[in-house]
């Protein structure tokens, strides 16, 4: 009986511990990013596209590998024979040489590179989205603590103001002012709760964790370090993975156009071989062709083997020529679109760099304002302590101290908002300079997993699919609070 009771108590303790673990899941930024990368449908879709592109490349190369087919059949026929009565055969054929096929292989290789860049772009997009959402949730949680303190101070200010009005010290109008400050703080608290819920829901969707269990770990957020350009490349603006994908896709279309153009007036060489087993027992073939069976004592073999090369030279094919012109136009359009995307990308990054500098100054200014308000609060508290022992000097009231506390907390709240805006801009800048994975500590492969094929006549090696849509912007409630003067 006692053992059974002990077992039940142990099981209850385990269940309670498990429930407590599920109730609060504090995850680091790197863990959240890793979970998001594994959970993302976009990444899985890009991986499927890459697998498809590699399969297409293998298909283009496999044209030079013989394909083997076997077939057989047995039956009876009467009347004039229409063909040799083959009961079993094995045949093999393959492409030996083709001007067009080489370009089609290069096109497939460029498509693989485009898919690799597109996959990396999707990974970076998920990392950026997760990081910005994580930063927004962490900042909102910190600002909620600040507002809770402000709300407590505002409540005490309403009580003190009501007492001062009762004592005839303050005018009646001071009470609505104090209540207005408290109501403003309550309103921002509601907005902040909505912000936390929205960011928790989005982070839960990204990571696959229950939104209500996610809490951030501030210490896991690394400090920002501006990426240094390689020596001698300070003025070189590297393209994003999306731009690389767009140019690789354009190259793939150009190689396909080369292959279509090099079809006419160029030889195609194929290899073919076939073995057949012939049986004339159930057909009239021997009656129509009596010499087939040979002469008495020297019968002909019923086995047949043949092999050789077939050379074909297309001379006239208007449909193929028209398709070549269409392929060339499609490639030219793809390069034009990629150039346009590159221009838009570079302009956006230049604006982002200037915005980052401006936000850095705003964050520094907010930090200085908070330090000034904190120093004023400490000075006011010292003056109150001094006034308590010197009744002849100017008196500092508790209402003045509460207003100073509100002012200091409000400046701190504004500083947190400025820091969040700066951090998110820095994250966007790290993404565009391809340093986001390094900053977080997540391994994102940037080099193609297969060696590139260097074509004889091709434009400069550039790559890609159009850049994906920007990551979702985390919800941030901006409302500053004006404390009661």
Q: Classify residue 359: in a domain, yes or no.
A: yes
Same domain, 102 and 196: yes
* Domain with 349 in it: 27-64+95-226+238-267+314-485
Same domain, 283 and 331: no
Beta bridge partners of 468: none
Same domain, 374 and 429: yes
Q: Classify residue 14: in a domain, yes or no.
A: no
Q: Classify residue 22: in a domain, yes or no.
A: no
Residue 468 DSSP symbol? P
Q: Classify residue 177: in a domain, yes or no.
A: yes
Same domain, 320 and 408: yes
Question: Tokens standing for 38?
Answer: 């594994």
Indicate the pTM of the whole model.
0.75
Same domain, 281 and 364: no
Domain-ending residue, one of 281, 312, 343: 312
Distance CA 33, CA 130 (A): 6
Domain count, the chain: 2
Question: Tokens standing for 331?
Answer: 């490639």
Q: Classify residue 291: in a domain, yes or no.
A: yes
Same domain, 144 and 287: no
Domain-ending residue, one of 278, 295, 312: 312
HEC profile for 170-222? CCCCHHHHHHHHHHHHHHHHHHHHHHHHHHHHHHHHHHCCCHHHEEECHHHCC
Express each pLDDT in 164-185 by its tens digit: 888 888 888 888 888 898 999 9
Burial class (CB in 10 A: 0-12, 13-18, 19+), 267: exposed
Same domain, 164 and 175: yes
Nearest CA to 441 out of 223, 287, 249 is that of: 223
Distance CA 256, CA 105 (A): 9
Query: Positive or negative, the Cα torsion across 278, 283, 289, 290?
Result: positive
Express each pLDDT in 387-427 by its tens digit: 555 555 455 678 888 888 888 888 888 888 888 888 888 88
Same domain, 331 and 208: yes
Distance CA 413, CA 395 (A): 29
**pLDDT digit string (tens) for the chain, length 485 residues:** 444 545 454 545 444 444 444 445 688 999 999 999 999 999 999 999 999 999 999 999 999 999 999 998 887 777 777 778 888 899 999 999 999 999 999 999 999 999 999 999 999 999 999 999 999 999 999 999 999 998 998 898 888 888 888 888 888 888 888 889 899 999 999 999 999 999 999 999 999 999 988 899 989 998 877 665 554 444 556 788 889 999 999 999 999 999 999 988 999 999 999 999 888 777 777 777 777 777 777 777 788 898 999 999 999 989 989 999 999 999 999 999 999 999 888 888 788 777 777 777 777 777 777 788 777 777 766 766 665 555 554 556 788 888 888 888 888 888 888 888 888 888 888 888 778 888 887 776 543 333 333 333 333 333 333 334 334 444 444 444 444 43
- Average per-residue pLDDT in the chain? 80
Distance CA 431, CA 123 (A): 11
Task: For the chain, report the end-to-end CA distance as a whole number of angstroms.
Answer: 70
Same domain, 483 and 382: yes
């Amino acid at each position: 009986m006692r053992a059974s009771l002990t077992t039940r108590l142990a099981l209850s303790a385990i269940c309670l511990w498990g429930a407590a673990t599920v109730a609060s899941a504090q995850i680091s930024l790197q863990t959240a990013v890793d979970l998001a990368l594994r959970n993302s449908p976009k990444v899985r879709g890009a991986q499927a596209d890459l697998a498809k592109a590699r399969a297409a490349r293998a298909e283009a190369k496999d044209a030079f590998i013989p394909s083997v087919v076997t077939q057989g059949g047995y039956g009876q026929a009467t009347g004039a024979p229409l063909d040799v009565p083959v009961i079993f055969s094995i045949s093999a054929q393959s492409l030996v040489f083709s001007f067009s096929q080489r370009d089609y292989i290069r096109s497939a290789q460029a498509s693989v590179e485009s898919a690799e860049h597109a996959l990396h772009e999707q990974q970076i997009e998920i990392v950026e989205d997760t990081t910005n959402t994580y930063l927004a949730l962490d900042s909102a949680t910190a600002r909620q603590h600040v507002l809770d303190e402000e709300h407590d101070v505002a409540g005490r200010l309403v009580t003190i103001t009501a007492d001062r009005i009762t004592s005839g010290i303050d005018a009646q109008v001071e009470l609505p002012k104090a209540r207005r400050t408290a109501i403003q703080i309550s309103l921002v608290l509601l907005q902040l709760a909505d912000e936390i819920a929205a960011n928790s829901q989005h982070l839960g969707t990204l990571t696959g964790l229950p939104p209500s269990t996610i809490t951030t770990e501030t210490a896991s957020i690394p400090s920002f370090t501006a990426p240094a350009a390689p020596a001698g490349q300070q003025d070189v603006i590297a393209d994003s993975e999306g731009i690389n994908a767009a140019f690789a896709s354009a190259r793939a279309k150009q190689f396909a156009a080369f292959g279509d153009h090099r079809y006419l007036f160029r030889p195609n060489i194929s290899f073919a071989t076939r073995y057949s087993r012939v049986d004339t027992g159930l057909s009239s073939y021997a009656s129509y062709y009596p010499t087939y069976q040979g002469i008495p004592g020297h019968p002909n073999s019923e086995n047949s083997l043949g092999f050789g090369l077939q050379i074909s030279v297309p001379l006239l094919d208007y449909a193929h020529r028209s398709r070549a012109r269409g392929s060339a136009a499609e490639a030219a359009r793809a390069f034009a679109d990629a150039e346009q995307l590159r221009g838009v990308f570079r302009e956006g990054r230049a604006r982002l760099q200037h915005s980052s500098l401006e936000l850095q100054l705003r964050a520094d200014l907010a930090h200085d304002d908070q330090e000034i308000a904190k120093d004023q609060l400490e000075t006011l508290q010292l003056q109150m302590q001094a006034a308590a022992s010197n009744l002849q000097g100017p008196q500092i009231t508790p209402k003045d101290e509460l207003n100073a506390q509100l002012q200091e907390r409000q400046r701190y709240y504004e500083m947190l908002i400025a820091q969040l805006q700066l951090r998110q801009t820095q994250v966007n800048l790290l993404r565009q300079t391809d340093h986001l994975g390094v900053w977080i500590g997540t391994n994102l492969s940037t080099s193609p997993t297969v060696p590139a094929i260097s074509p004889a006549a091709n434009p400069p090696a550039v790559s890609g699919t159009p850049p994906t849509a920007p990551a979702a912007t985390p919800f941030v409630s901006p409302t500053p609070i004006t404390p009661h003067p």
